[in-house]
Amino acid sequence: MSISVSTLCMLLMLSCFNSGAYLKVADAQRTWCIANPSTSNTELIANLDYACSHVGCSLIQQGSSCFYPNNYLHHASFAMNLYYQRSGRHRSDCNFSNSGLISFSDPSFRSCNYETGGGIVESHRSENQTSETWCVAKPATENSMLQENINFACNHVDCTPIQDGGPCYNPTTLVNHASFAMNLYYQTTQRTNTSCDFKGSGLIVNRNPSYGNCTF
C-alpha cells in the first residue's frame, strides 16, 4: 500500500516529537552561560581556573577586548560561557557546582562579544525542568547602572530582603542586590522581555538564582 507525501510528513513529525528531537527545535534559541551574581570570589576563581584549563581565555587578559571590567564575576562568566559553548551547550556544561546560569539574553557589551552557537542541546526534557525564568544583572554592568536599577526597581517593589539584616543582604555587592531587585520587578510585571531590559543591563535566565535563605 502506498503512503501519500502528506501522511509520510506527519509520521516523520510524530517520530521526531516522540524521540525528543522536537524539543531540540523548540529550544533552538541562542543561549549563553554566566555566573550567578551571588557566587563568591572563591567559587568564581575556581570556575575561571577550570574553564580556562579547557578553553583559551586570552580575551580576558590585560590589553584584550574583554579584560574590562576587571572583576571575577565578569571574567568567570566569560570563561564559563566559552566552556559551555565549546562543550556543546548541554545544561551540565553550565553547572559549575550549581553556580552557573543559562541566559537567553546576550551578555556581550561594547567590544567584548560572548560567543554563542545556538540553543541548549538535549534529547529530552528532565522531570525537574520548568519553563520559569528569572532576571539578573549582566556581569559587566557598571556600578552606576546597577545602582540606578536598584533605585528604579525598589521604587516599585518591596526591597527589604536586601536591606541590612534581610535574607538577601549578603553578599553585599551591588550586582547581587541589583539582581534581586531587578528580578522582583520582572516577576511582578508578568515576566515580559521589556521588564528585564533595564537599558540593556538585564539578562533572562532559566535557572533559579536563589541561594541560602534568599529566595528570588
- Flag whether pLDDT at 192 surpasses 80: yes
| Residue 191 pLDDT exceeds 80 | yes
pLDDT reading at 123 higher than 70: no
- pLDDT-derived band at 128 (thresholds 50, 70, 90) equals low
Residues 143-173: tens digit of each pLDDT:
999 999 999 999 999 999 999 999 999 999 9
What digits encode the pLDDT tens for the residues 62-105?
Answer: 999 999 999 999 999 999 999 999 999 999 999 999 999 999 99
pLDDT at 5 over 50: no
Give the confidence band of 122 by pLDDT, cuts at 50, 70, 90: confident
Cis amide linkage into residue 69, ω under 30° from 0: yes
111 or 124, which is more confident: 111
Burial of 136 (0-12, 13-18, 19+ CB in 10 A): buried
Mean pLDDT of the chain: 89
Please check the confidence at residue 208 and state whether its pLDDT lies above 90: yes
SS3 129: coil
Indicate if the pLDDT at residue 12 is higher than 50.
no
Residue entry with cell 556581569: 139
Q: What pLDDT is stored for residue 29 in this prediction?
A: 87
Report domain extents, the chain: 32-120+135-205
Which grid cell is 190? 508578568
Question: 8 pLDDT band (50/70/90 cuts)?
Answer: very low
Rounded CA separation 188/96 (Å): 29
> Three cell numbers at 91?
545544561
Please choose, from the candidates 105, 165, 157, 159, the residue with its C-alpha nearest in 3D space to the C-alpha of residue 136.
105
Task: Please give the Cα distance from 79 to 85 (Å, whole number).
Answer: 10
Which residues, in sequence order, are bridge partners of residue 203? 136
User: To the nearest whole percent, how much of the chain has pLDDT over 90?
Assistant: 81
Candidate from 30-34, 100-104, 125-129, 138-142 with smallest mean pLDDT: 125-129
Is residue 34 within a helix (H) or strand (E), and if so which, with residue range? strand 32-35
What pLDDT is recorded for position 131?
80
